[in-house]
């Protein structure tokens, strides 16, 4: 299994920045590694060089498990990094580079594992469908969404999926917590338009679209969204109380999240909806009042709170501003009381007896949303043992992203247990 670090390093050296020149060379590399192991990959492109790879490994049961990950990465400014972000350098026991954590490290674990199976003649317990997808760091339109829409048959029989953002270790005091994602907040990216009366900038204001939009965005930004304790977060808080041996005050969750540091970061953004204005466009000349003004808002809503979120947004925007969705995706949640969730926990504990797996909900979104549309229960489970000095959330899309080689090897063993244990 010593292959995992080499594959991770190789994958990092393909610059798959999104937006950028596409995932094709990385996808071809993945397809070649699978072919070498006797696994027949299906390679497809949603657009030029927007390439994804899917492969099925037959198991003892046709009820399939989907293991999905993305080939693209977010941009990196080389000047800010200690090593070049696309060097894939291995030093100090870590593989360095953009994507080490998010999520080429995970892809390399899967690849190393299935290649090892091929060498040892191991067959998984159930069919395993591997998906290496383009475009997760944007909307997934050129990756998961396209795959689900155009190649649905590749996912036949999949009842559960594992993907990114979960199963990594978070050191909180003496405890090693492994959050396993059971849901995500939903996405509501919106374009707002205010329409008014165009005219000369020197005239008394009549119906100024720029001002209307600013008022509406200001109301939205200032809104204090109420705390809503959803089942996934409630279960997390209960688990944290048990692990940390202290009470967490449900009436002061925001303060408690701050007090609890890394453990608190697991629920800080998951206790309310949010709506952040992110872009503004209006006008073309200082002495001309434009007839319209537009703005964009990144909205996120908790599982079960889509309607409440949209009604509140509409009330805050008022009658003079209209909204349309740039992207709307529901908030998926997968059962916590399922035997499969227990298997995820068991695989972690088997490799790290000190592991304390807990359920949690992601604040953002992943490709799991697209697969939820096929009725597949998605869990965030990309097992990784981090050293206590490494902060997962700090490295995610951050500078000096790196992953310990031993942590990757740990992940391979956890996945092996999950996919082959009786
Ligand atoms: Zn990711």
CATH code assigned at 61: 3.40.630.10
Cα distance between residue 288 and residue 283, in whole Å: 7
Maximum separation of any 2 CA atoms in the chain, in Å: 81
Distance 142 CA to ligand 1 centre (A): 15
Q: Is residue 413 part of a domain?
A: yes
pLDDT in the model for residue 118: 97
Neighbours of 325 (CB within 10 A): 13
Cα distance between residue 355 and residue 416, in whole Å: 17
Q: Is residue 354 part of a domain?
A: no
CB 109 within 8 A of CB 412: yes
Six-digit token string for 333: 């949640």
Residue 10 and residue 154 in one domain: yes
Distance 368 CA to ligand 1 centre (A): 11
Residue 213 and residue 160 in one domain: no
- Which residue range forms the structural domain that includes residue 13? 3-165+366-420
**DSSP H or E run through 209:** helix 209-222
Catalytic residue (one of 89, 127, 135, 136): 136
pLDDT in the model for residue 1: 43
Three-state SS at 237: helix
Cα distance between residue 388 and residue 348, in whole Å: 17
Catalytic residue (one of 3, 10, 23, 72): 72
C-alpha closest to that of 6 among 24, 29, 31: 29
CB 276 within 8 A of CB 196: no
Distance 285 CA to ligand 1 centre (A): 41
Cα distance between residue 95 and residue 177, in whole Å: 23
What's the structural domain count of the chain? 2
Domain CATH for 297? 3.30.70.360
C-alpha closest to that of 5 among 419, 420, 412, 418: 412
pLDDT in the model for residue 422: 57
Distance 134 CA to ligand 1 centre (A): 11
Residue 294 and residue 234 in one domain: yes
Six-digit token string for 158: 């999949």
Distance of CA 180 to the CA centre of its chain: 12
Six-digit token string for 344: 């995820």
Distance 164 CA to ligand 1 centre (A): 6
Please, which residues bridge with residue 162 across strands?
67, 379
Residue 253 and residue 398 in one domain: no
pLDDT in the model for residue 421: 81
Residue 44 and residue 135 in one domain: yes
Beta strands in 97-209 (DSSP E): 126-133, 158-163, 170-172, 175-184, 186-195, 199-200
CB 131 within 8 A of CB 123: no
Q: Is residue 81 part of a domain?
A: yes
Six-digit token string for 226: 């109420």
**Residue numbers in the chain where pLDDT is lower than 50:** 1
Three-state SS at 217: helix
Active site includes 72?
yes
Cα distance between residue 229 and residue 417, in whole Å: 33
Distance 417 CA to ligand 1 centre (A): 23
Last residue of a domain, one of 284, 314, 329: 329
CB 143 within 8 A of CB 46: yes
**Helix, strand, coil in percent for the chain, rounding step 5:** 35, 30, 35
Which backbone phi and psi does 399 adopt, to 5 degrees?
A: -90, 160
pLDDT in the model for residue 396: 82
Active site includes 391?
no
Q: Is residue 170 part of a domain?
A: no
């Amino acid at each position: 299994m010593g292959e995992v670090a080499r594959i991770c390093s190789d994958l990092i050296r393909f610059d798959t920045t999104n937006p950028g020149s596409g995932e094709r060379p990385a996808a071809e590399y993945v397809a070649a590694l699978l072919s070498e192991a006797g696994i027949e990959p299906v390679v497809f492109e949603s657009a030029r060089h927007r390439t994804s790879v899917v492969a099925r490994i037959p198991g003892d049961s046709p009820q399939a498990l989907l293991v999905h990950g993305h080939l693209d990465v977010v941009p990196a400014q080389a000047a800010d990094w200690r090593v070049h972000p696309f060097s894939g350098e291995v030093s100090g026991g870590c593989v360095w580079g953009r994507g080490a954590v998010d999520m080429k490290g995970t892809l390399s674990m899967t690849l190393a594992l299935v290649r090892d199976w091929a060498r040892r003649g191991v067959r998984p317990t159930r069919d395993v469908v591997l998906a290496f997808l383009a475009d997760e760091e944007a909307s997934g339109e050129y990756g998961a969404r396209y795959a689900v829409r155009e190649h649905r048959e590749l996912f036949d029989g999949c009842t559960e999926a594992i993907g990114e953002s979960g199963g990594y270790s978070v050191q909180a005091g003496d405890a090693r917590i492994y959050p396993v994602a059971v849901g995500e907040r939903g996405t509501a990216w919106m374009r707002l338009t205010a329409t008014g009366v165009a005219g000369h900038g020197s005239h008394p204001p009549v119906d100024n679209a720029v001002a209307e939009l600013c008022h509406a965005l200001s109301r939205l930004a200032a809104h204090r969204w109420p705390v809503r304790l959803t089942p996934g977060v409630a279960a997390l808080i209960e688990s944290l109380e048990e692990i940390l041996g202290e009470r967490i005050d449900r009436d002061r969750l925001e303060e408690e999240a701050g007090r609890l540091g890394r453990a608190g970061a697991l629920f800080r953004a998951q206790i309310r909806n949010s709506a952040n204005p992110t872009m503004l466009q209006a006008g073309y000349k200082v002495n001309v009042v434009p007839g319209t003004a537009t703005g964009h808002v990144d909205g996120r809503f908790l599982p079960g709170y889509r309607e409440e979120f949209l009604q509140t947004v509409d009330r805050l925007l008022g009658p003079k501003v209209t909204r349309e969705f740039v992207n709307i995706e529901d908030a998926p949640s997968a059962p916590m009381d399922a035997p499969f969730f227990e298997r995820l926990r068991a695989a972690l504990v088997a490799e790290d007896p000190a592991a304390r797996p807990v359920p949690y909900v992601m604040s953002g979104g992943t490709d799991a949303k697209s697969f939820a549309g096929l009725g597949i229960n998605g869990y965030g489970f990309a097992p990784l043992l981090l050293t206590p000095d490494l902060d997962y959330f700090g490295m995610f899309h951050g500078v000096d992203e790196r992953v310990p080689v031993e942590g990757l090897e740990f992940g391979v063993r956890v996945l092996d247990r999950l996919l082959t244990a009786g």
